[in-house]
Amino acid sequence: MKQNNKASRPTNFFKTLFRLFHYFGKKKYLLILVVLLVMCTSFASIYGSYFLGQIIDTAIKNFDYHQLLISILILAAIYGCGALCDLCYTQIMVRLSQNVLYNLRKELSIHNQNLPLSYFDKYNHGDIMSYFTNDVDSLINALNDSFANIILCCCNIIGTIVILAIINIYLALIIYAFMLAVCIFIYLNTKKCRKYFTMQQKEIANINAKVEEDVNGIKVIKTFNHENESFKDFDKVNKNWLNASTKSFFHTQLNVPVIVSLSYLEFAISCVVGSIFLVNGWIRGFGALTTYVVNVRQSATPFNMFTQHVNNILTALAGCERIFKFLDEKEEEDNGNVCLIKLGDANKLHDYKSRYAWSVSQKDGSTKLIPLKGEIVFKDVTFGYVDNKIVLDNISFYANDGQKIAFVGSTGAGKTTIISLITRFYNIQKGQILYDGIDVKDMKLESLRRSISMVTQDTHLFTGTIKDNIRYSRMHSTDEEIIKAAKIANCDSFIRMLPNGYKTMLYDDGHNLSEGQRQLLALARAALSMPPVLILDEATSNIDARSEKLVQQSMDILMKNRTVLVIAHRLSTVKNSDAIMYLENGKIIERGSNEDLLKLKGKYYALYKGKTELE
């Protein structure tokens, strides 16, 4: 699988930011309200400190209890309004951010389902999972807290600059010089932070991928005593994360001590110079000096907050950029217009073929119905997962309605690839695949795949009850239909022996069942869904020899009146096929019935007589 370890900062900061705002949808106006409330909060804080200076000057020059009480009540009202605005914008922002995260995860899930299988062949599944977890989670703090606080910090900085200028422009110049120095430091340090935060996010994704791989392969790791080697591999990616995160947090934590140190120096100088101005009468009064000193002391706070929250923003945007790159991946092509439709009296019919038909649009605007039969034809099909490596080379064969076609050959010969092409998991480079005389590329994917039932070697069971897992192939099935399908697949007996029967919960891909039981549940799924084409890809490989005869009887019922494509290593499951295709290096080198191929005394004959073995 492909891994991208190249570290770089977000390629387009503002483009990513504007695209994120798109997810606020019609509630963007609430963002404007949040900004206004934040500005009110900042104004209350800044003007409150300024008004406090006026109260002090008034009290010194003309001490009046009544006027002092009124001034104190006004000051309390100012700070009270600021606190109320703070409460309001916080609550609004929390609700907005959760809605954004919900919509973003929903879009990720939909897009993930619509991607072609070729994407998952190339990228780590753990990396994909990190889009839903780490990258989305990095937005939580950024949207819940940092977005509003960044605006608040900016407003406080601007307000402090204005208030200081109003008090005394010469004293203000001292603070402006320190502010400029802090801004230059933050700019340079932020560039470093952005780079290492992006590295950190990528290394976390690599850790996720490694953990997922180890958890899925834990049996293999233990079987081959590979614990130490597995730990070394994990330790390697963990150290990469350690290096990236250490550098990112070093530069992040550097902000606070540098800014605090500058602020103490700034405060000391301002107190001395301010006192000189007061003694010489160059400043309005003691209240003005008090306001000046308070604002000087607080001037470093918005910078400290700004650096902390801007790091959250940078982390979030680094994650957003990865998410948006994932969302920009090309989805599975579905340009077909041929649909599978139900016929008018479908509810009265029991046979799948009788209930459905292909609806083909004609040039004159009319619609032509083509009977659903399940005939498959490959015409000179050439395919490779990558352009420079051919897996199937000019393959041609047909499977008529009701025929059983088997594919045998060594691993890598192209057997499973043929199955993947019928369901259009991949698109062919050359040739044509016809289903009931219709090119599969002209069919809607949902209709094409609904007309095919598949049982693979690697059975995947979802978290849920056994009943729900069988129903997965036909969600509207009744309990009676599920039990009937289970009986056909010969798994009803073992299901009823479980403590909760059909309501038994399955976890971790059904690992509380044996391999054979899981395979039987897959057959039950196929029995519940009865489209005209059935694909069996090593469907009996995990079933012991004693059970094979019983399972074969079940499969005979499943295959009745259906076009069946079988891939198997056990020749006992393919010898009664209408035609057997022997593949080698992506080509069909032998074809015919079991008897025909035995008479030919070629590759299949050698395999049948045990002179060769499939790898």
Lowest mean pLDDT segment, chosen from 47-56, 94-103, 595-604: 47-56
- The band of 565, judged by pLDDT with boundaries at 50, 70 and 90, is very high
β-pair type (505-506, 464-465): antiparallel
The residue out of 327, 359, 387 marking a domain boundary is 327
Task: Flag whether 262 is in a domain.
Answer: yes
Within this chain, do residues 292 and 227 fall inside the same structural domain, yes or no? yes
* Residues 490-544: tens digit of each pLDDT: 888 889 998 889 999 888 777 778 777 888 888 888 888 888 999 988 766 656 6
> Alpha-carbon distance 74 to 531, whole Å?
78
Within this chain, do residues 163 and 78 fall inside the same structural domain, yes or no? yes
Within this chain, do residues 172 and 285 fall inside the same structural domain, yes or no? yes
Residue 65's contacts (CB-CB under 8 Å, 6 or more residues apart) are none
> Alpha-carbon distance 313 to 473, whole Å?
44
* Residues 415-470: tens digit of each pLDDT: 889 988 999 999 899 999 999 999 999 999 999 998 998 887 777 888 889 999 89
122-152 residues labelled b (16+ CB within 10 A) or e (exposed): ebbebbbbbbbebbbebbbbbbbbbbbbbbb
Tell me the range of 127-136, 254-263, 400-409, 558-567 where mean pLDDT is highest: 400-409
Within this chain, do residues 306 and 200 fall inside the same structural domain, yes or no? yes
Within this chain, do residues 322 and 381 fall inside the same structural domain, yes or no? no
Tell me the range of 156-165, 213-222, 562-571 where mean pLDDT is highest: 156-165
Task: Flag whether 136 is in a domain.
Answer: yes
Are the CB atoms for 613 and 440 separated by under 8 Å? no
Backbone torsions φ then ψ of 369, nearest 5 degrees: -100, 125
Concatenated DSSP letters for 323-345? HHHHHTSPPPP----BEEEE-TT
Are the CB atoms for 537 and 569 separated by under 8 Å? no
Report the pLDDT value the prediction gives residue 6, as an integer from 0 to 100.
38
The residue out of 327, 355, 385 marking a domain boundary is 327
Report the pLDDT value the prediction gives residue 409, as an integer from 0 to 100.
84
**Side-chain-facing half-sphere of 416: CA atoms under 13 Å:** 13
Concatenated DSSP letters for 535-546? EEESTTTTS-HH
Within this chain, do residues 63 and 210 fall inside the same structural domain, yes or no? yes
Within this chain, do residues 34 and 121 fall inside the same structural domain, yes or no? yes
263: domain CATH number? 1.20.1560.10
- For residue 33, give its domain range: 26-327
Within this chain, do residues 43 and 139 fall inside the same structural domain, yes or no? yes
Report the pLDDT value the prediction gives residue 2, as an integer from 0 to 100.
42
Which token pair is 295? Answer: 């604002």
Task: Flag whether 37 is in a domain.
Answer: yes
- The band of 344, judged by pLDDT with boundaries at 50, 70 and 90, is low
The residue out of 327, 344, 360 marking a domain boundary is 327
Report the pLDDT value the prediction gives residue 33, as an integer from 0 to 100.
93
Within this chain, do residues 311 and 168 fall inside the same structural domain, yes or no? yes
Residue 344's contacts (CB-CB under 8 Å, 6 or more residues apart) are none
Please name every residue paired with 563 in a beta bridge, in sequence order, or none if there are none. 533
Task: Flag whether 256 is in a domain.
Answer: yes
Q: Residue with structure tokens 């991607």?
A: 115
Element (H, E) at 356: strand 356-361
Task: Flag whether 515 is in a domain.
Answer: no
Number of domains in the chain: 2
How high does pLDDT run on average in the chain?
Answer: 83
* Residues 8-64: tens digit of each pLDDT: 345 577 888 888 888 887 788 888 899 999 999 999 988 888 888 777 777 666 667
For residue 472, the SS3 value is: coil
Report the pLDDT value the prediction gives residue 61, as an integer from 0 to 100.
67
> Alpha-carbon distance 90 to 95, whole Å?
9
Task: Flag whether 7 is in a domain.
Answer: no
Lowest mean pLDDT segment, chosen from 36-45, 106-115, 140-149, 534-543: 534-543
Task: Flag whether 293 is in a domain.
Answer: yes
β-pair type (438-439, 452-455): unpaired
- The band of 219, judged by pLDDT with boundaries at 50, 70 and 90, is low
Task: Flag whether 54 is in a domain.
Answer: yes
Element (H, E) at 371: strand 367-371
pLDDT at 87 over 90: yes
412: domain CATH number? 3.40.50.300
Within this chain, do residues 315 and 380 fall inside the same structural domain, yes or no? no
pLDDT at 1 over 90: no
User: pTM of the predicted model, to two decimals?
Assistant: 0.74
β-pair type (533-537, 452-455): parallel
